[in-house]
Structure 1
Amino acid sequence: MTTLADGEWHRLHPASPLLRGGLFIVAILGFIISNLRERLLDFFFHVPTYGDDPIDELFRRGAVGWALLGVVVILVVILVAFYLSWRMHTFRVSGEVVEVRSGLVFRSNRRARLDRIQGVNIVRPFIPRLFGAAKLEVSVAGQDANVHLAYLGSAAADALRRDILHLASGARAAAALPAPASTDAAAEGEDWVEHAGTRAAGSALGPSLGSYLGTAAGGIAGGIGGFATDRAHEFFAPELDPDAAPPESVVRIPPGRLIGSVVFSGFTVFVLIAIAVLVWSVSAGGSGWLLIAIFPGLIASLSFYFNRFTKSLRYSIAGTPDGVRVGFGLLSVSNETLPPGRIHAVRVSQPLIWRPFGWWQVRINTAGHSTNKGAAGEAHTTTLPVGTLTDVARVLELILPGFDSDSGSENGRETLLVDHGVRSPGGDDGYTNAPRRAAWLRPFSWRRTGFTIAADTVLLRRGFVSRELVLVPLARLQSISIQQGPIRRMLRLAHLRVHTVAGPVIAALPVIDVREGERLFERLSAGAISSARADTSHHWADPRHPLNRAPLAPPAQPLAPVTPTAEAAL
């Protein structure tokens, strides 16, 4: 354990106000001054504008000193504001919560209970990476409820994440294995962390900045060289921490496949349609308004492709003692650890345009990031951007216990059900499928619409044009609903939905036999209650929990596979 998790209040990196937005403020201020300097000089010094450079006029009037004094006053005001912002922004990590206090005029206090943590994410934006800084984000359930620590030293952020996960796991400190870098991180923490109310021995970047500036023995040149060397090492080092995860990712995405997945997408179809409309308009001699309306959007689409490609580069996923570690990004990188039991639903999907290449995508629902909109939410809910079925099996093995990719193991049935769920056209393959009369509502996909239960997880299969398989652990299930409108009532069908936390994964079957739906409703209700009672993932490493002492006894009435009725098999 480092000094960051001692329950005392600590301050962030002294440059945090600048890294959080100060650079943008300084740039805007410089832009305003450069464009309005004539008006500013005329306002303060009554300098007439005759077409000469106002700076030359200041020299002629002898007002250079006053101008420099004004610049110094502005800089002092900015530095004082940054200092007060940093001074009032403190955090602490105790055995129960992660808490952050911030604000000078309007105070803010955020708390994240350790047993409710959904993930711990370290984000390294491009500019802070140049200074060796990183942002640590503790994800908890709720809308905009995450706790952010922006910014910490890069090594300190890694050490603090290990401490938070160690405390959240419920493991006893004496029984826990010490991380190889913990001692070094603790020593480094003494240098860069400032306790609230005391003065730090160094900056919040710690020795990574103070020692790099050089000492009398090392010299300034050696200090700058060491700083540059460490920054280069951080940029090109593997994203997975070898002390906390295997150094190799279980899945590797070739750059060619990644480019293909970005190009062969629905957005590309939209772009091609826009280009076709634009060419037709120009060739037909139409008015220029269409060119003005569409052409800028086509230019902007290039940035979309670039961002999608760079954000998915250096993708890595591996198992750790504290959950699944997922990393991605080239310029701005993100590395998140998802503790056990924090994944509420999984979707394996294949768009039609990917079918000739055999590519699949895996997305998840989590309570921390699933409600985020735009690219940020998509990045944090995508555990496999693009991969083969072998890659899908490896990812499922990490994020869902019981789905071992080794077909020769005792979990071979579950692996076979996953394979049938994504590739089988339907039939007698272990799934309870929709009856033939469902073709009136789903003429193409009714054969693939079905469900089954395995390894305390419900599997829902659907889709013909875009194939999908949704897996929901029974312990994470929140509710089940069955709906039946007038048309489905006439066809003796129903619409079933399994509710989880909000996110991109929707666990629903549009058509199902009403009798099978009622049976599934009862089985899922009973299975969810028993699985939730036996779930100990909130303290996954606590030796006092039965999960870490001995295997759990099987339930009194195990969930037997559903056998299709004669009516459903018609």
Structure 2
Amino acid sequence: MSTPQNPDPYAAQPPLPPVPTAPAGSESLADGEWHRLHPLTPLFKGGLVLIIVAGVVLNNFRDRIIYWAIGLFAPEEAHVGDYSGGDPVDWVLENNLILIALLVVLGALIVLIVGFWLVWRFQEFRISDEHVEVRKGIVFRSQRRAPLDRVQGVNLTRPFPARLIGMAKLEVVGAGTDANVPLEYLSTTKAETVRSDILRLASGARAAREARQRGGSPQSAAPAAGATSIRSQLIGSMNGGVNDLIGGVDLSDVAPESVVKIPTGRLVGSQVLAGVLWLAFFILIFGVTLAFVIPAILADDDPDAWIGVVGITLGLGVPFVIAAFAIVWAQISRSLRYSIAPTPDGVRITFGLFTTVTETIPPGRIFAVEVTQSILWRPFGWWTIKINRMSGKSVSQQQSSTAQQFNIVLPVGTRADVERVLALVLPDMPEEDRPLVWEHGIFGPQAGDPYHVLQKRGWWRRPFSWKRHGFAVTDFAVIMRRGNFWRKLAVFPLARLQGVSAAQGPIDRAQRVAILKAHSVTGPVLGDVVGIESVDLTAAVDDISRRAAAAAGRDQTHRWAQDAVHERSA
């Protein structure tokens, strides 16, 4: 395989062409001005919890609260002896205190509404050519900013309660720990428009503002954001929420033939098979526990001993069965209505039955891809695809189930599905590298295996998969092949490789082998292979370093708008 001439990575980049502006007549908010979020944002960001807590407190302490309120406004009517132990509503009616009670309720509602209005009034966001910013707070002010050239993706989440009235949460994924900037909440239509604006501006063109000014000011192309009344926003968002709930979301701007979907039967079947492992684990733990517990219980010859055995069995078994069902259902519900499709701004992934999440990953933001197949899925030819990408979340947030879901781009699919998804997430993979992925990689090893494999003298490190365990290097990526019961094939594009290293412990030195590590961003895809011949590994590390520097110099995926304009002008 010939290596192309390496361009100078430090050479000046060509000037960027103008980015396509927002369509005429659309209500673009990327005008550098401050805008407010949806009027119901305070209610969904804690107001519901506040109302529920207030209801519980009123229910538990209603006697004391009503007596205190009546005593405050009409002390001559507050006869605690007459009221104690009775129903507060009947007592209010009997004492003709309805007006006072209504005034108290009205006052509480006014305080609550004013508080929500103040919270909404001091939450704003703006989108400029350089940043997405959010500021909020009344007493303690805070402001978060995400540089557009560091945007790793844009997530659009529709929690079920908010989805019913057409609201969505937009999250700009940054390149760093706790670097995400959330916009919660917006109407679904406005959130989709903001997402498009952010991705359009993040596509690499710095002259977005000048282009818009040459084409006309945003205010002249669309009505001002404040011209729409709050009532109109609420009615429009609720209509949109009902329509999205029935017909699905985020498929209007992609071609139907470009969408990869998962049949419900396949999804349920794959998760049920995965639940078999939980069942086997439960039977093992449960059997070992009973093997020690039952003889001790029955040793006393107590007639009621079997009652204790049944109690222990149910006490251990029922919670585990419920937990297993909950895990399987959570996986199924999160992956229902799954679809993945290409868009001009990157790969768009949508999943979720009740809470719908839409993620748009711009080109060049995927750092590693892994195709995995469980031994239970092998008879059906099913696979799953995971990726490493910058999440912009803290370590604890990355360990949550929702965050892990973002790293799964194909929960379960056939080979045809896998090939289509790999073409989406790795569009620049050369055709000559594909045999390394399938014939020699996923289904290998085969005759003439090009992989550097684990040496036979180190078989004990991977006793069931040592013949498959290895790696291959091309001008595009480092490809790692591992596992036998769980087949894994990981691809690390060299243009986004964070580093490569070799490690060798005392036992490795004695066996003249070493460990190769491909360093990537935090994610489920691991980049290490063990037991590789030391001499071969040293040469491979140098080779990978040279190829990675050349690949980084050629890479232009982070400036995808420039490529799109060049294609249109060609």
Q: Do both proteins adopt the same fold according to a TM-score greater than 0.5, normalized to the shorter chain?
A: yes
The Cα of 1:527 is off from its aligned counterpart by 1.7
Is the 8 Å Cα contact of residues 169 and 191 (structure 2) preserved in structure 1? yes
Change (3 A) 1:544 1:129: closer
Question: TM-score of the superposition, structure 1-length normalised?
Answer: 0.82
1:518 aligns with 2:518: no
- Which of 426, 432, 440 is equivalent to 2:460? 440
- Which of 112, 134, 138 is equivalent to 1:100? 134
In the other structure, the counterpart of 2:264 is: 255
The Cα of 1:176 is off from its aligned counterpart by 9.5
Is the 8 Å Cα contact of residues 345 and 470 (structure 1) preserved in structure 2? yes
Secondary structure, aligned partner of 1:506: coil
The Cα of 1:474 is off from its aligned counterpart by 0.7
Aligned letter for 1:29?
A
Secondary structure, aligned partner of 2:262: coil
Instruction: Output one character per residue of 1:238-276: Cα deviation in whole Å (capped at 9) or x when no partner.
Output: 433433x32345422111110112111244444555676
- Which of 393, 408, 428 is equivalent to 1:402? 428
1:12 aligns with 2:37: yes
Distance in 2 (CA, whole Å) between partners of 1:415 and 1:511 is 25
The Cα of 1:23 is off from its aligned counterpart by 1.5
Aligned letter for 1:231?
G
In the other structure, the counterpart of 2:255 is: 246
Change (3 A) 1:279 1:256: farther
Is the 8 Å Cα contact of residues 475 and 547 (structure 2) preserved in structure 1? no
Aligned-pair identity in percent equals 42
Q: How does 1:13-162 map to 2 (within 5 A)?
A: 13-44=38-69, 45=71, 47-48=80-81, 50-162=84-196
Distance in 2 (CA, whole Å) between partners of 1:524 and 1:547 is 31
Question: TM-score of the superposition, structure 2-length normalised?
Answer: 0.82
In the other structure, the counterpart of 1:407 is: none
Instruction: Output one character per residue of 1:269-314: Cα deviation in whole Å (capped at 9) or x when no partner.
Output: 4455567679987979527356335523432433332221111011
Is the 8 Å Cα contact of residues 124 and 333 (structure 1) preserved in structure 2? yes
The Cα of 1:188 is off from its aligned counterpart by 11
The Cα of 1:547 is off from its aligned counterpart by 9.9
Is the 8 Å Cα contact of residues 28 and 197 (structure 2) preserved in structure 1? no
1:190 aligns with 2:214: no
In the other structure, the counterpart of 1:295 is: 318
Q: List gaps (5 residues or longer) in structure 2.
A: 1-21, 72-77, 295-305
Please tell me the root mean square deviation across aligned C-alpha atoms, in Å.
3.1
Secondary structure, aligned partner of 1:286: helix
Aligned letter for 2:319?
P
In the other structure, the counterpart of 1:201 is: 228
Change (3 A) 1:469 1:549: farther
- Which of 297, 322, 329 is equivalent to 2:345? 322
Q: How does 1:212-223 map to 2 (within 5 A)?
A: none
The Cα of 1:456 is off from its aligned counterpart by 1.1
The Cα of 1:145 is off from its aligned counterpart by 1.2
- Which of 509, 519, 534 is equivalent to 1:499? 519
1:415 aligns with 2:434: yes
Instruction: Output one character per residue of 1:535-561: Cα deviation in whole Å (capped at 9) or x when no partner.
Output: 2233221269999999xxxxxxxxxxx
Secondary structure, aligned partner of 1:342: coil
Is the 8 Å Cα contact of residues 165 and 242 (structure 2) preserved in structure 1? no
Change (3 A) 1:382 1:211: closer
1:539 aligns with 2:559: yes
Q: Which moved more, 1:137-146 or 1:283-292?
A: 283-292
Is the 8 Å Cα contact of residues 91 and 100 (structure 1) preserved in structure 2? yes
The Cα of 1:357 is off from its aligned counterpart by 2.1
The Cα of 1:173 is off from its aligned counterpart by 5.5
1:355 aligns with 2:378: yes
Is the 8 Å Cα contact of residues 371 and 385 (structure 2) preserved in structure 1? yes
Change (3 A) 1:84 1:360: same
Aligned letter for 1:341?
G
The Cα of 1:356 is off from its aligned counterpart by 2.4
In the other structure, the counterpart of 1:333 is: 356
Distance in 2 (CA, whole Å) between partners of 1:68 and 1:275 is 59
Is the 8 Å Cα contact of residues 457 and 473 (structure 1) preserved in structure 2? yes
Instruction: Output one character per residue of 1:345-372: Cα deviation in whole Å (capped at 9) or x when no partner.
Output: 1111112222222211111111126851
- Which of 230, 233, 238 is equivalent to 2:243? 233
Q: Higher relative contact order at CA 8 Å, sep ≥6: structure 1 or structure 2?
A: 2
Is the 8 Å Cα contact of residues 178 and 392 (structure 2) preserved in structure 1? no
In the other structure, the counterpart of 1:384 is: 410
Is the 8 Å Cα contact of residues 28 and 194 (structure 2) preserved in structure 1? no
Q: Which moved more, 1:346-355 or 1:534-543?
A: 534-543
* Count of aligned pairs: 513
Structure with greater helix percent? 2
Distance in 2 (CA, whole Å) between partners of 1:75 and 1:161 is 35
Secondary structure, aligned partner of 1:327: strand
Q: List gaps (5 residues or longer) in structure 1.
A: 178-182, 195-199, 213-226, 404-410, 551-570
Distance in 2 (CA, whole Å) between partners of 1:76 and 1:263 is 51
Q: Which moved more, 1:72-81 or 1:489-498?
A: 72-81
Change (3 A) 1:73 1:51: same
Secondary structure, aligned partner of 1:541: helix
Is the 8 Å Cα contact of residues 88 and 104 (structure 1) preserved in structure 2? yes
Aligned letter for 2:270?
S
Aligned letter for 2:332?
F
